[in-house]
Amino acid sequence: MNDSPLAPGSRVVIAGASGLIGSALTRSLTADGHEVVRLVRREPRGRDEVRWDPEGRGIGAGALAGCAAVVNLAGAGIASRRWTESYKRTIRESRVRGTTVLAEAVASLEERPSVFVNGSAIGFYGDTGDRAVDESAGPGEGFLPSVCVAWEEAAAPAREAGVRTVLARTGLVVAREGGAWGRLFPLFRAGLGGRLGDGRQYWSFISVHDEVAALRYLLDTVSLSGPVNLTAPQPLTNREITEAMGRVLRRPTVLGAPAGVLRAALGDMAEDVLGSQRVLPTRLLESGFGFTYPSIEETLRAALD
C-alpha cells in the first residue's frame, strides 16, 4: 500500500460516478491524466466501466485491482421523492450496503489502495440551531443522523485493514444542473422564490468547484483521515441566502413557503428543509485547503456561469 499523493496516471475507482458530484470529479481526474474506472449497476458500455451489485454484495472480479484510490459517492437521492417509509429504507440501504461492499472489497485486496474516500453528509449533525459545529461534534438525532452514522460505520473494514479512510461530510452543493439548487434556480428566475419557513435556519453550502477540489485534496493529503466537512467557511441563514439569490438573479423574493405548507407537501423531508445546520469546515481550513468560492454570491455566480 502506497500512502502518498496520487501519482500521475493513477487508477481511481468511483462509485456514483454518474451523479452531480461524481461526474464532475470524473471529469477533473480524467483531465489531469488519471485513469477513472466507473462502477455501474447495468452492463458496462466501455472499458472504463465495471459492473457491481451492491444489493447482492457483488463486485466485478479485478474491479479494484491496481487502483490507487477508491471513491464512494453512491446512494439514492435524498430529495428525489417523498420520504415514505419504503423510500427511507432505500436511502439508508443504498448507502450502507454499497459502502459495505466496497470497504470489504478494499480490505480483501492483497495490494490495497492508498486511500478510500467515502461519501457522507452534514446530516450527521442533525439540527444544530444557531450553534456552529465542526468535526469534533457528535451525531444528532433523527433519521438523517442515523443514516449517516450507519453509512460511516460501514467503511470500517477498509480502515481496519490499514487503508487511510476519509469520510467526506458534504453540505448543500450549489449547482445549476442538479441537487437542491437545480430546483431553486428556476423558481427564483421566475420570481417565485422566497424563504422557507421563518428563514432563520442555517444552510451550509459549497460550490461544485470547491466540492471537487476538496475531494481531490482528500485524495492527496495523507495527513487527513476520518470525518472532514465539505462546506464553505461562511454558512448563512435561509433568509440571507434567499436575499443573495434575489440580488444575483435580480428577481423579487417576497414569496415564502410557510412551515405548515412544507410539512404537508414534503412529509418527513420537510424537517430536513426546515432544520438548521451551521457546519464549519475546520479540518479542511486547518490543513491548508483554500476555497475558490467562499461566499454565497461568488458561489451562486459560479454556478450560473
pLDDT digits (tens, 9 = 90+) for 196-208: 888 899 999 999 9
* Domain regions of the chain by residue span: 11-174+205-231
Of the listed ranges 36-40, 61-65, 103-107, 218-222, the least confidently predicted one is 61-65
CA–CA separation, 67 vs 63, rounded Å?
A: 9
HSE-CB at 62 with a 13 A cutoff on CA atoms is 3
DSSP conformational letter for 7: P
Cα 49 to Cα 9, 14, 16, 70, 85, distances in angstroms: 17, 10, 12, 14, 33
If you write DSSP's letter for every residue of 73-102 in order, what string do you get? -----TTSS---HHHHHHHHHHHHHHHHHH
The CATH number of domain 11-174+205-231 is 1.10.3210.10:
no
pLDDT digits (tens, 9 = 90+) for 72-123: 999 988 876 778 899 899 999 999 999 999 999 999 999 999 999 999 999 9
Q: Is residue 283 a contact partner of residue 214, using CB atoms and an 8 Å limit? A: no
Contacts 24+ apart (CB under 8 A), 155-159: 155/72, 155/99, 155/103, 155/116, 155/118, 156/103, 157/100, 157/103, 157/104, 157/106, 157/107, 158/70, 158/102, 158/103, 158/106, 158/107, 158/116, 158/118, 159/103, 159/116, 159/225
pLDDT digits (tens, 9 = 90+) for 271-288: 666 789 999 999 999 999
Q: How confident is the model at residue 248 (pLDDT cuts 50, 70, 90)?
A: very high
Residue at grid coordinates 427511507:
88
Q: How confident is the model at residue 2 (pLDDT cuts 50, 70, 90)?
A: low
Residue 263 has pLDDT above 80, yes or no: no
If you write DSSP's letter for every residue of 159-193 in order, what string do you get? HHTT-EEEEEEE-EEE-SSSHHHHHHHHHHHTT--
pLDDT digits (tens, 9 = 90+) for 125-171: 999 999 999 999 999 999 999 999 999 999 999 999 999 999 999 99
Q: How confident is the model at residue 195 (pLDDT cuts 50, 70, 90)?
A: confident
